[in-house]
Structure formats: structure tokens, C-alpha cells
């Protein structure tokens, strides 16, 4: 029986409950997808808690999945029944065995990309793509700091940065994650749960700091990250895993050496279908070439989404996590 994981209201992981659903006909511009794998992302927890407000309640979280097209709406010409597709775009609703979604939100999967790899990589890998190639275009030989280097986005970004030829300083919260980072090509791994990462970065860079910091941890690391930047460096604050970053005074940026700060989102960097498809193609290329391997660290049954959220928030996961319908 088709079902979704939906929440009547925002709250802890326990609000995520399976509910049977009726499958509606796709509208003219939509396709009906039977999901084969669904991606778990930290943003799903922000929707669940209400940190990022959702428009309606009850709501079904999830922005990333892969599957097979079962039906197409009247106006859909780019896709047909039976096509294998993936997506990482709103609106939320991916935590379901089936869903209707607009055809301009989906990407045809190349033969060498399985549904599981697509669902484990599209949102995280396309985020890595825009962060290191477009928000701040990392050059070969540059040294960068990337926090949570063995998380979902981090593990992909680490390998991609290595492929570009950067020197990577990464932070990790456990022995296993530090080991994984080394295996992914991270040059300097800092155990930021034990050591002062600002001192470590200053030691590694002989006091010069780094030209860019990618910080998705947020509240706990933001201030330290600013102190790791060289003059005119770029602070890329792209997440809130430990909580949202408090307001800052622009004067701080002057005092720390004419810094730049940006708070980007994947949605803004994939706003047109051309950008969305180009980002996916770049990701699928680095996966196909072997430069980036997708590490699926955990797989949960879709009905156990609450457990998956609890593990993600407790820092128990590494690499990507899948929910299997």
C-alpha cells in the first residue's frame, strides 16, 4: 500500500509517522514517480523542527529521491513512463513511496548512475558542486577549511576538492569520521570535538589562515571559522547543524581583515533548469570518472524515518543516508 511519512505538527523525530496515501493523477505538467530510494538530508530536520517554516500542515518532508516514472501529465514531453529519474528540489514531499512532482524538477539518470547513488548524492553533491565551483571557485593549490568533512555534503566535497587539486583541512567529530576523511583525501583532519580548530588551522597554515571556510555547523563554529580566514577571505556559512548563527555586526568583517560573508542555498544556485541540469551533470561526471565515490553510510526503511532523523541529529551518521520505500 502506498504510504508517506508525514507530520501533523513540527517537533522531535517522533512526529514523523507513516500514513497510507491515495495516489492522485499527475496534473498536466507533472509526473507520477514511484520512488526507489529517498535521500536523508539535514534540511529535512529543519523542516521537521520548524527552523525552516513549512507552508502547510500536516506535511511530508524530503527534497531528494530517485525513482521510476509511472505516469506523465498531458503537457510533459521530455519524459515518458518507465524513465529512471532523480531530483533534489522543492516542494517537500519526498518521504513517500509515490508522489507527483513537476517535470521541470526532475533529471533523467544516466545508465551508470543507480537510483540509490542518485538519491544519496544529488542534493549533497550538487551542493558541493556550487559551493566549491561557483560560490568560491577553489583553485588548485589553495588550502581550504571544510567543516563536518565526513558528513553527507562533506564527504563528497572532500573528494571533489582533492580532484581540483586543493589542500583540504577538514573537521570531524569521531575517530571513524577522521579515518574516513583521510581515506577521502583530506590532507589535515582536525578533531574539533577535542581540539581547538582555530589554533590547528593557524598552525597548519603558519599563521596565514585560509582564503575560504565552508561552515555548515553554524552556531558552534561560526566565530572560530571567521578567525581562520586570511584577509579578504570568504566565509561561506551554508548550514545550521548545531543551531542558527546569531546576528553579526558588519564592522566585525572590517576588523578581521575586510572579509566577505555569504549564506548561499542550493535552490538559488539551481534556480533555472539549465543550472539545475548542469550541476547534476557535473556531479554525475565526477562520479562516473571515479574521482568522487558516494559513501552510503546508513540505510533505513522509509517507515523508520524518525530513527534516521534522531541518528543524523546525534552525529551518528557518516556519508550519505538513504530511506528505502
Ligand X SMILES: NC(=O)c1ccc[n+]([C@@H]2O[C@H](COP(=O)([O-])OP(=O)(O)OC[C@H]3O[C@@H](n4cnc5c(N)ncnc54)[C@H](OP(=O)(O)O)[C@@H]3O)[C@@H](O)[C@H]2O)c1
Where do contacts with ligand X occur on this chain (CB under 6 A)?
41-43, 123-124, 127, 148, 150-154, 172-174, 177, 216-217, 220, 238-242, 264-266, 312-313, 315, 317
- By Cβ distance, which residue is nearest to ligand X? 151
Which lies closer to ligand X via its Cβ, residue 97 or residue 320? 320
Q: Which lies closer to ligand X via its Cβ, residue 68 or residue 324?
A: 324
Annotate 20-41 with b (16+ C-beta within 10 A) or e (fewer).
Answer: ebeeeebeeebbbbbbbbbbbb
Q: How far is the CB of 178 from ligand X (least distance, A)?
A: 8
Closest separation in Å from C-beta 314 to ligand X:
7
- 235: which strand partners? 213, 261
In the chain, how long is the greatest CA-to-CA distance?
62
Of 32 and 228, nearer to ligand X (C-beta) is: 228
CB 320 within 8 A of CB 124: yes
CB closer to ligand X out of 41 and 205 = 41
Query: Cβ 255 to ligand X, closest distance in Å?
Result: 26
Strands 167-172 and 188-191, by their bridges, are parallel
Compare residues 101 and 178 and give the one whose CB is closer to ligand X.
178
> Could you tell me the smallest distance in angstroms from the CB atom of residue 165 to ligand X?
23
Each residue of 3-19: b (16+ CB within 10 Å) or e? bbbbbeebeebebbebe
- Report in angstroms how near the CB of residue 183 gets to ligand X at its nearest: 14
C-alpha–C-alpha distance, residues 243 and 230, integer Å: 25
Amino acid at each position: 500500500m502506498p504510504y508517506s511519512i508525514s507530520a501533523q505538527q513540527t517537533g522531535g523525530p517522533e512526529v514523523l509517522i507513516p500514513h497510507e496515501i491515495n495516489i492522485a493523477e499527475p496534473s498536466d505538467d507533472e509526473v507520477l514517480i514511484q520512488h526507489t530510494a529517498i535521500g536523508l538530508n539535514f534540511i529535512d530536520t529543519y523542516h521537521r523542527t520548524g527552523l525552516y517554516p513549512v507552508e502547510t500542515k500536516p506535511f511530508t518532508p524530503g527534497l531528494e529521491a530517485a525513482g521510476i516514472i509511472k505516469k506523465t501529465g498531458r503537457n510533459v514531453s521530455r519524459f515518458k513512463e518507465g524513465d529512471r529519474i532523480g531530483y533534489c528540489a522543492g516542494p517537500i514531499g519526498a518521504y513517500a513511496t509515490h508522489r507527483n512532482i513537476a517535470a521541470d524538477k526532475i533529471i533523467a539518470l544516466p545508465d551508470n548512475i543507480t537510483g540509490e547513488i542518485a538519491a544519496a548524492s544529488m542534493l549533497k553533491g550538487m551542493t558541493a558542486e556550487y559551493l566549491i565551483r561557483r560560490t568560491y571557485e577553489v583553485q588548485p593549490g589553495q588550502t581550504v577549511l571544510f567543516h563536518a568533512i565526513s558528513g553527507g555534503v562533506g564527504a563528497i566535497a572532500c573528494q571533489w576538492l582533492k580532484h581540483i587539486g586543493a589542500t583540504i583541512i577538514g573537521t570531524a567529530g569521531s575517530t571513524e569520521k577522521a579515518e574516513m576523511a583521510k581515506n577521502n583525501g583530506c590532507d589535515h583532519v582536525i578533531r574539533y570535538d577535542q581540539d581547538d580548530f582555530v589554533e590547528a588551522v593557524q598552525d597548519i597554515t603558519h599563521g596565514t589562515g585560509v582564503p575560504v571556510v565552508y561552515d555548515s555547523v553554524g552556531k558552534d563554529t561560526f566565530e572560530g571559522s571567521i578567525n581562520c580566514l586570511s584577509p579578504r577571505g570568504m566565509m561561506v556559512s551554508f548550514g545550521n547543524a548545531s543551531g542558527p548563527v546569531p546576528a553579526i555586526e558588519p564592522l566585525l568583517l572590517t576588523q578581521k581583515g575586510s572579509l566577505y560573508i555569504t549564506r548561499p542555498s542550493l535552490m538559488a544556485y539551481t534556480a533555472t533548469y539549465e543550472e539545475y541540469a548542469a550541476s547534476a551533470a557535473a556531479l554525475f561526471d565526477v562520479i562516473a570518472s571515479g574521482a568522487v565515490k558516494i559513501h552510503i553510510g546508513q540505510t533505513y526503511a522509509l517507515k523508520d524515518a524518525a530513527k534516521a532523523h534522531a541518528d543524523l541529529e546525534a552525529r551518528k551518521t557518516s556519508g550519505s543516508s538513504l530511506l528505502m520505500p
